[in-house]
Amino acid sequence: MNISLFFKSLLFLGLASITCANNIKEFMVPYEDGVKFYTVSITPSSTGKYPVVVYRTPYTSKKETIEKVKQRFEHLVKSGYAVIYQHTRGAGKSEGERYPFKDERKDGLALLDWIRKQPFYNGEIFLSGNSYTAGIHISYLETNPYDVKGAILRVMDVELYNLFYRKGFFKMGLYGNWFTKEYRKNSTIQRNKKVNKYNVFPLTDLSKKIFGHSVEMFDTPLLHPDRNSPFWDTQAGGSEYRNAIIKSKIPILLVTSFYDIFTEGILEMWRSIPQENRKNCALLITPYQHNVNRGIVKFPNGSLIEACKDYEVNWFNHIRKTEKLKFIELSKVKWYSLWQNKWITATDIKNAPNELKFYLNKNRTLDKSATTPTEITYVYYPKKPAKFRGGVAHTFGGMQEQSKPNSRPDIISFVSAPFEKNTIVEGKMKVSLSVKTDCEDTCFYVRVNIVKNNGKTYSLRDDITSVLREVKNYKPNSVAQIDFEMVEHSFMFEKGDKLRVDVSSSCVPSFTVHTNIKGNQNTQAKTKNANNTIITGKSTITLYTK
């Protein structure tokens, strides 16, 4: 009998494993619908029972080696934890088709059932993930599985609307580009990578242009740019995720960064945790971006690798009462203040006590007093949108070095005088624009930057909105006041640094363009040009300082 063929057959059926070492095994685990999932178990030894850490991912390939998997989780195994690592449906070595977010709850719960039948299972399960791999766990967290004792959820929001939109503007630089790579990723379907995603009108035609057929799970959200649409209460709109943090009863460590794609949403998650459970939870915020440990500017001791390399093991050990917390503080937010270069701990990030207001003035300066109101008008061409580097805190790219001020006719830059002393900024910066347009609707976009002593300019925060979203009965050529409240931040202007504010009417690759025609922008087949005006002396930016 061919022994090798025999064991491979059992592996395929999920009845046996190929043993790479005494404590590492590979399985093809069959689910109720017949789809088999590539699953790896790693245990501290070939015998004994252990607490289990679960990690599921679509971010892999059929070429992934068992050695890489072993290295990835070595720190957990050495600390006495078993690890279950699984390729999600339709990804890597697992069977089936990948439809993002669609099957994660049932697939995740099925894996927990399988774990409970394993000889190394000791009755304790812990969850760990980053971004989508954290979302996988979030999808079933509200069911409160009895043996899930704790979790580390990094850089993932429970509100899927925030993955798709910012104030009704579709996040092409986030969900759009990500979906076109992830949808049915193991299949051989057409993917036209040459399509200019920012020049497709209506946007609802995009999936057909890329894949050769309409994709309902991509197209349907485009019909619902309003956060209050009933669609966002359906399973397709993320209903399985929304209440995960509110209903969960386990200790959760949330991790984000100031330039994450979900910074704002994760702060909202933190605030939504009921007080009786928040006392057992914590939130960490690094100075970096979606990867949380690195960025274009290096901040001393800013990464979790530097600040507390073993924080994952430490968190799980703390829950098991085998070790005290070293860096994390329960019921607290711990964040890194950029250029102040230190970690700060409090119950939440709040606006600092002092208000510092600058006026956007006629000479394109930022001043503490207003000059006589004047108008700066530019033409906004939807088919020639302005480009900005980095997604700041809404889409991929995080903090990036910026172009020179007024780099295009449709980017209006305002710059302050150098700060005369170190000034700490904390909380939500606010921008209020006095504007008008000759169209029924248009877009205004704001980016706030820091100009360092060395002349380099880095993005701090940005925001986008439409006139009709802010002023419901807007009439062309009338003056409107549009207010932006930025995502929380904590940083310091060093003496000699400057503040810069860029105003435009588009921002690619982060957001799809506004057509200057009122209505759902994703269904507009035509565009028109707009003459947009900023009224200086009446527009302001407010910082909260200490």
- Which residues does 60 contact at the CB level (< 8 Å), separation at least 6? 87, 91, 92, 93
- What's the pLDDT at 7? 41
Quote the number of domains for the chain.
Answer: 3
Distance CA 19, CA 271 (A): 45
Verify that 91 and 115 share a domain, yes or no.
Answer: yes
- Which residues does 469 contact at the CB level (< 8 Å), separation at least 6? 167, 168
Asked, for residue 146, whether it belongs to a domain, the answer is: yes
Asked, for residue 345, whether it belongs to a domain, the answer is: no
Q: Which residues pair with 543 in a beta bridge?
A: 356
- Which residues does 331 contact at the CB level (< 8 Å), separation at least 6? 278, 279, 280, 281, 282, 347
Asked, for residue 433, whether it belongs to a domain, the answer is: yes
Verify that 13 and 90 share a domain, yes or no.
Answer: yes
Helix residue ranges, H only, 434-505: 467-470
Q: Which residue has the tokens 């299972």?
A: 121
From 233, 250, 272, give the residue that closes a domain.
233
Distance CA 456, CA 449 (A): 10
> Which phi and psi angles does 500 have, rounded to 5°?
-135, 135
From 233, 267, 288, give the residue that closes a domain.
233
Helix residue ranges, H only, 183-237: 206-211, 216-222
Verify that 50 and 174 share a domain, yes or no.
Answer: no
Contact 128, 151 (CB under 8 A): yes
Verify that 229 and 367 share a domain, yes or no.
Answer: no
Asked, for residue 342, whether it belongs to a domain, the answer is: no
Distance CA 297, CA 287 (A): 9
Asked, for residue 333, whether it belongs to a domain, the answer is: no
Asked, for residue 426, whether it belongs to a domain, the answer is: yes
Verify that 133 and 219 share a domain, yes or no.
Answer: no
Q: DSSP character for 243? A: T
Verify that 150 and 173 share a domain, yes or no.
Answer: no
- What's the pLDDT at 22? 62
Verify that 388 and 537 share a domain, yes or no.
Answer: yes
Verify that 21 and 128 share a domain, yes or no.
Answer: yes
Verify that 408 and 493 share a domain, yes or no.
Answer: yes
Asked, for residue 239, whether it belongs to a domain, the answer is: no
- What's the pLDDT at 229? 98
Token pair recorded at residue 34: 């017949």
- Which residues does 444 contact at the CB level (< 8 Å), separation at least 6? 433, 435, 464, 465, 466, 467, 482, 503, 504, 505, 532
Can you give the residue range of the structural domain that contains 137?
3-154
CATH code for the domain of 490? 2.60.120.260
Contact 257, 338 (CB under 8 A): no
**pLDDT block averages, 10 residues each, the chain of length 546:** 42 47 89 98 95 98 95 96 98 98 98 98 98 98 98 98 98 96 94 93 97 97 98 96 96 99 98 98 99 97 97 98 97 99 98 99 98 99 98 98 98 99 99 99 99 98 99 98 98 99 98 98 98 99 98
Verify that 212 and 127 share a domain, yes or no.
Answer: no
Asked, for residue 304, whether it belongs to a domain, the answer is: no
CATH code for the domain of 22? 3.40.50.1820
From 233, 249, 266, give the residue that closes a domain.
233
Verify that 224 and 363 share a domain, yes or no.
Answer: no
* Residue type (1 letter), 199: N
Verify that 123 and 205 share a domain, yes or no.
Answer: no
